[in-house]
Each structure stands twice: as structure tokens, then as C-alpha cells.
Amino acid sequence: MVRAALLTAVGSPLELVEIELPEPGPGQVRVKLAAAGICHSDLSLATGVLRTPAPVVLGHEGAGTVTAVGEGVSSVRPGDAVVLNWAPACGTCHLCSLGEPWLCENSGAASTHTYAALADGTGLYPGLGVAAFAEETVVAERAVLPLPHGVPLDGAALLGCAVLTGYGAVHNAARVRAGESVVVLGLGGVGLAVLQAARIAGAGPVIAVDVTPEKEELARRHGATEFVLSDDRTARTVRTLTGGHGADHAFECVGRGVTIRAAWSSTRRGGRTTVVGIGRKDDLVSFSALEVFHFARTLSACVYGNSDPAKDIPVLAEHVRAGRLDLDALITDRITLDEIPAAFDRMAAGQGGRSLVVFP
């Protein structure tokens, strides 16, 4: 039996329960969690913005140690430190064959099948196929990636989502170059990772935008050269800070129509707006036909940092070892399993960066 934070139904509060995990079957790996990050996607699943079957153990950003492997597993063995991959590519579908594993048609298959049970036999689903809000989990072999040496195991949890997404948005999706201007709207864990990635890319100025004035110090610590308190004049302020042109690159890390619109309007003519946040399906964004032509901006989404985790995590690890990427700075709260609801409340209120569940 292992302890887990369980969502019994969408909209219900999380409950701390004991669950029964099976031994890993063929092609499966059992992992003892060292840490799990609290991502906004977990909150969206809990509130119904994103769909999930229930009852479900949420949590998809984690790292830990392999305790057992099933038949046929060859990439890891017991004792190995690993990062969990919530979107493991199958490698065979049409989109994988196009070299776009972040859009894999089969990456979410594990989340549709029960993986564990309560004592009474009730089957439980793994949130986004991972179920990291538990002391241990069982996942497919392709959902674990060996952790490179030199990266702390607890901070490594953030590599599985926030950092990979934020870094990938800058370096894979937008391909920011040294000297280009960047504006980042929304300073949660992903937004802060975008700031660090922009600094690594040599961007400048790097403008951080948020609704919370207390985040200015946090933003500057992560690489922002300017801080703007979000209001209805945000785009105009950004243009003023970029010589009247607008930013070469805008990154929307909130997932709201009004913020996407502000990011678009903050982008220079011919620039690029990258939407990283995940919003509601009924939250619409509108553009006039004339402005689409006139401004010649590119508007695109970024899924999981447009990353191939097997290739990108070693790159991130090298940045960590070299001191260019600071994982500890992203963590604003270290908490226990039973403190996840309070972390959800802080996230919903726009407070802090990344809360990290640390397991004893």
C-alpha cells in the first residue's frame, strides 16, 4: 500500500488515501517518487477545464528512483534515478513519423486505463498517465527517462514539465536568437522557466508581465530585465520598452483569451506570438482579417515545449551543471502530499512559482 492524493470526482477536493499498486508487468517500471511538481494542468484536470476519467491520482511532473522493472525492460534497472515523461511518444504514429513526437497520437493512452486500486477493488486512473501525487507509481518504460548525473533528484522533477515546456518554447518552438526582445505573460512555473530560457538564449530586453506586483523580484531573479504589471495598457507599455515596435517574441503562459490577445498585441510587426498556456475550449480569441494581414505576425501554439525529452533533458542537465539553469529558484514552496489543496489555491490566486511535493 502507498499513500496518494486521490481525486474521486471532477470538482471534488483531493483525498489522502492508501492505494494498492500492482507489480510492474511486461514493459513496465515501478518508481518511488522523490518529488512531484504542482502544475497548472493538474488544477485544470481537477476543476474540469481539462478532461480526465475518475477516480484519478493526479500529478504528472515527477522524478524518483526505479524500484522494480517488468519483463523486457532494458533502458533502466532498479536503483536508477529517472524523470517521468507524461507524454511518451510511441514512435510509430503519423505525427511521430513526421518528427513531431510532442504531438504523438498515442501519448495519452495510459491515462485511459486503470493502473491501481483502492482496498475495496475500485480501479484508479493515472493522471496524464503518470500519477505522481503518490509515494510510488507504475508506468510504461517509455514514460521514464534516465536522469543525467549532476542534477538533484528533487529539482529534477521540474524537468518533466515546467522546464522542458518553458525551455522548449524558447529554443524549439520560437527559436529565439541572441539580441531579440522577449515578453513573457504569466509567471507561474512555466513562465519563470521561459524567462530563464530567454536569458540562456541571450535575449534582450526580457520583459516579464504578471498581475501580481510581488512577482517582480522573482521575475528579475529569473532573468527579466523589465517588469510590467498587467493591465489594459500592457501591449502599449511593451511597445514603449521596445523602441515603439513591440517584442520580437511574446510568450503567453496563462491560457486565457484576453492574455493571448495581449501577447499578440505586444508583438512587433512580423514577430512571433507563442501560446504555451492551456485554456478553456469556450474562451475565444478574435482577430480582424485586416490586422492579420497588416501585422504579419505568426501565432502558434507550443505543446510540451515542442520537445523530444530523450534528446532535450540531457541538454537541460548540462545547463544545470554549468549553472545556467537554476532549478531551485523555480521552487517557491516545498510541501507534503496533504498540502496539495493549499498549493492549488495559491496557484488559482496567481501566487508563487512552483510548489514541489517532496517525499520522505
- The string of DSSP letters for 205-269 reads SEEEEES-TTHHHHHHHTT-SEEEE-STTHHHHHHHHTTTS-EEEEEE-S--HHHHHHHHHTEEE
pLDDT one-digit tens code per residue, 281-333: 999 999 999 999 999 999 999 999 999 999 999 999 999 999 999 999 999 89
Instruction: Tell me the per-residue pLDDT of 157-189, one tens digit each, with 9 for 90 and over.
Output: 999 999 999 999 999 999 999 999 999 999 999
CA 61, 145, 175, 302 torsion-angle sign: negative
The domains located in the chain, with CATH, are 2-160+326-358 (3.90.180.10), 166-302 (3.40.50.720)
β-bridge mates for residue 143, sequence order: none
Element (DSSP H or E) covering residue 47: helix 40-47
pLDDT confidence bin for 352, thresholds 50/70/90: confident
Q: How many CB atoms lie within 10 A of CB 10?
A: 16
Task: Give the contacts of 59 (CB within 8 A, at least 6 positions apart).
Answer: 5, 36, 42, 127, 130, 131, 132, 133, 134, 357
Cα gap 17→249, rounded to integer Å: 45
Task: Summarize pLDDT for 226-283 with one digit per residue, the tens.
Answer: 999 999 999 999 999 999 999 999 999 999 999 999 999 999 999 999 999 999 999 9
25-31: average pLDDT: 97
Q: Rounded CA gap, 351 and 340, in Å?
A: 14
Cβ pair 158, 61 in contact under 8 A:
yes
CA distances, 182 to each of 59, 71, 257, 331 (Å): 30, 48, 20, 23
Q: Is the pLDDT at 110 greater than 90, yes or no? A: yes
Backbone angles phi, psi at 90, to 5 degrees: -75, -30
3-state secondary structure of 133: coil
Please, which residues have CB within 8 angstroms of residue 26's CB and are 6 or more apart in sequence? Answer: 70, 71, 72
Asked if 187 contacts 359 with a C-beta cutoff of 8 angstroms, the reply is no
pTM of the model: 0.93
Nearest to 70 by CA among 138, 169, 160: 138
Give the lowest-confidence range in 93-97, 192-196, 250-254, 353-357.
353-357
Q: What is the pLDDT of residue 18?
A: 96
pLDDT in tens, 48-86: 888 999 999 999 999 999 999 999 999 999 999 999 999
pLDDT for the residue numbered 353: 75
Would you say the C-alpha torsion 255, 256, 260, 266 has a positive or negative sign? negative
The strand pair at 267-275 and 298-301 is best described as parallel
